Each structure stands twice: as structure tokens, then as C-alpha cells.
Structure 1
Amino acid sequence: MKRKQDFRILTGIGIAILLMIAAPQVYGQSNNPGPRIGIKGGANLSQFFVDQPTVEDENMKLGLHFGIFTKIPVNNFLAFQPELLYTNVGSKVSYGGSTVENILGIREGEVRFNLNYIQLPLALAINVGPLNIHAGPYLSYLVSSNVKNLRTSDLTTINTIELNKDDFNTIDYGLLAGVGFDVQNVTIGARYNYGLRQVGKDGMARNLTNNSKNSVAQLFIGFGF
């Protein structure tokens, strides 16, 4: 639980920094950004927050996301912002003790989960000058997965665990919220994605992740046309 709180605090700090940057210029810009389409990308910090007795430690995984977006004004203060992104998420989980090997069939050590999705965020953005606050649902489709088991002692790769895309739920969905700062054709911002569906489908994948859901903080930059 403490790791989860620290993760959300880190996300909140990033959003607060963006707000402080944007605040002095909020009222000096036009409220209506106009319709546009663009490309965006950035970094992901993701974690599952697995809660089970065999977990000794868990760390965030650094990933990336990139894709296209469009911003369609509804009025001077409200816009609809759908996007289509490729996003790489996961977690680094350390399991300990013979219990893991006997029950789950893997060696003691760190397991690195890498899940690659095509994501469709559907956000509504409230525009206040160059600042926008956006929120809404997202829907993701799992295109591939890569799961590795590493030795605790020297972190040398042993073998890829016998898990593949079929062991994880193909469809993920959840909620997103964030802030953005638009300067002419450039947008920067931070966002948090909170998954509502468990990652593991059944068998070993479900036992390892213990009904965990995707939790992803994002920093992004985009260029509109």
C-alpha cells in the first residue's frame, strides 16, 4: 500500500510542477485552441502493485508511448480529445522463497513483465488559456507480451517464463486524468492511467500478478498541425 501511495505522490508532484509553470501565463492566451491533429509521445512509469506473501519487492518499469491525437473544440472552454497510442507498460516484481518455485513453477528472483498495448484514450479537456485539464476513459488491446525471470544474485537472464499474450487479458480498460500546457503547436503534460481490469488472465499469469491492474504515470510532448 505504501508503494502505491508513493507512486501516486510522485505523479501528483509532476502535475503540480506543470501547473506552476503554466499558471503565470494562463490568462494571456486565447481560450479556444482550434481544431487540430498531431503526434505525441513520452515516457511511462508503470507498476502492478502485486499484493501476495511471496513478493519481496516491486519496482516501477520505465516504458514509452507514442501515437496520434486530435483535439476538437466543443466551445471556448471544452474540447474532445481522442488519441491512438502504442504504449509499453509492466512491472518489476521480486519473488522469494521456495514457495514460489514449488507452487508457481519459476525460480526465486525478479520477474519483469512487459506488456505492449494499442490504446484508445477518449478524454474531455477543459481549457483555461494554454492550460487544459483532461479526463475520461480508455480502452486498450494487448498486442504482445514479454516476461523474463532473472537471477537475484547477478541478474543474469535464465529463461523466458512460459507466458505469452494468451496468458493475459487481451482487453484492458480504465480511467485517465491529467493536465496539459499548450504553446502554439506544442503541448506538454502529465497523465495518470488507472486500470479497472486485472492483468493476468488465468493460471501462472494470474497467480503471479494476483489480480493486479495496470497503473501508469505518463509524461508527454506533442506537436499539432
Structure 2
Amino acid sequence: MKNLILIFGLIIFNGTIGMAQESVLFGAKAGVNFTSMNSDSFSENNTMTGLHLGLLAEIPITTKFSIQPEVFYTTQGTEAEVIMLGGSPRTTEYKLDYIQVPVLAKFYLTESLAIAAGPSFNFLVNEEVDGEETDFGNSFEFGGAVGVSYNFTGGFFADARYFHGFTDAFDSENYIDSSKNYGFQVGIGFMF
């Protein structure tokens, strides 16, 4: 175990000599979301397409490792067959808009290709069930994200990630029990 920790530490902190030459980068990104929800109350559900738009910073720790906090607006949801009490399933559309604040640890495999993972702090700003505004959603969702990014010349980049909510999206005492958001995001952006 000690050898594994030592090897991991050497990989992460490889290149610390060049750290002083690195500066914080700022950027903007936009993309598409493919989201859904897990719930014991759903007999089946479909992916919903949404958007995300926001700002980010990349804070180099070493030449291969950085911290990337982000803030963006995201639209997500699902269309699901909800199992009703004493009745047949009913098709219901859920739309949830969040301000997501992921804080990712980013490790560069090459000069341009990186993997990233970290927690995401999500704040509900709007919710609709079948087109009607509701207040069943939890105002805060804690989740995680893991993904990959590629930096092009000229400051442009592309990224793809999977995210999953660890806490319930809806208030289970008043609405749906054990509902978790999950999905994929694909985006493009520019660092300056």
C-alpha cells in the first residue's frame, strides 16, 4: 500500500519545477446534456436533452495536475413512466434547471489530453413537472463527475463527462422516493 501511495504521489507531483511558470487560466464553455433519473417510482424512463453554459478556471498545481472549479447553468430532466398508487403507470416529464458548481481534480495524460473527477454542488433554480412549475425538488443536490478533455491550439477545448447525483433530486417525503439525476455532458469552450 505504501508503494502504491508513493507511486501515485510521484505521478501527481511530477513536474513541480515548472509550476512557477504556470498561471491560472479562465474560460467559458457550452454544450449539450443527455440526462435522466433513477427512481424506484419509475417503471421506465427516457433520456432528455438539455444545455449547459458557464465559466471555469484552471488552477495549475504542477505541470500535470490542476484544480478546475466551474460554475454553469444546466437544464436536465427525464420523461418517465411513474408508478401511481393503485393505478397504472403515467407518463410524466420532469425538467430541472441547476446552477452546478463542480470542483474537478484534473490530471494531464499528455500535453493536451486530461482526465478529471470531483464533487459537484448543484443548486436548483427551476423545476417543472409536465410543464407546470412545482416545488417538489430539493434545493440542493450533491453529486460527482468524471470525464475527459482535450485542449486544441489557440485556447479551444472539448470535454465529455458523466455526472451522477448522490442525493435525491426530489423531496422523498412529499413526492418521489429515491430519485437521482445522472447523465452525460459534451461541451466545447475557450480558455484565455
Shorter-chain TM-score: which interval? 0.7 to 0.9
How well do the aligned residues superpose, as a CA RMSD in angstroms? 2.2
Which residue does 2:169 correspond to in 1? 199
The number of residues matched between the two structures is: 171
Distance in structure 2 (CA, Å) of the matches to 1:110 and 1:203? 21
Is residue 115 of structure 2 the alignment partner of residue 133 of structure 1?
A: yes
CA distance in 2, matches of 1:125, 1:190: 13
**Cross-structure match for 1:118:** 99
Q: Which has the higher helix share?
A: 1
TM-score normalised according to structure 2 size = 0.81
Change (3 A) 1:178 1:138: same
Residues 172 and 178 in structure 2, CA contact (< 8 A), matched pair in contact too = no
Q: Identify the match of residue 146 of structure 1 among 122, 128, 131.
A: 128
1:222 equivalent to 2:189? Answer: yes
Identity %: 28
Alpha-carbon offset, residue 194 of structure 1:
1.2
Match of 1:181 among 150, 154, 173: 150
The structure carrying a bigger strand percent of its residues is 2
CA positional deviation for 1:83: 0.5
Shift of 1:99: 2.5
User: Aligned equivalents of 1:221 and 1:121: distance in 2?
Assistant: 16
Please report how far the alpha carbon of residue 57 of structure 1 lies from its aligned counterpart in structure 2 after TM superposition: 2.6
Out of 24, 27, 33, the residue aligned to residue 44 of structure 1 is: 33
* C-alpha contact 1:168 1:202 (8 A) present in aligned 2: no
CA distance in 2, matches of 1:63, 1:138: 18
Structure 2 unmatched ranges of 5 or more: 1-20
Query: Tell me, which stretches of 5 or more residues in structure 1 are unaligned?
Result: 1-31, 102-107, 149-159
Q: Could you tell me how far apart the structure 1 residues matched to 2:50 and 2:25 are? A: 27
Runs of 4+ in 1 over 6 A off after TM superposition: none
Cα deviation digits, residues 91-139 of structure 1 (max 9, x gap): 11024678247xxxxxx53111000000101001001210010011010
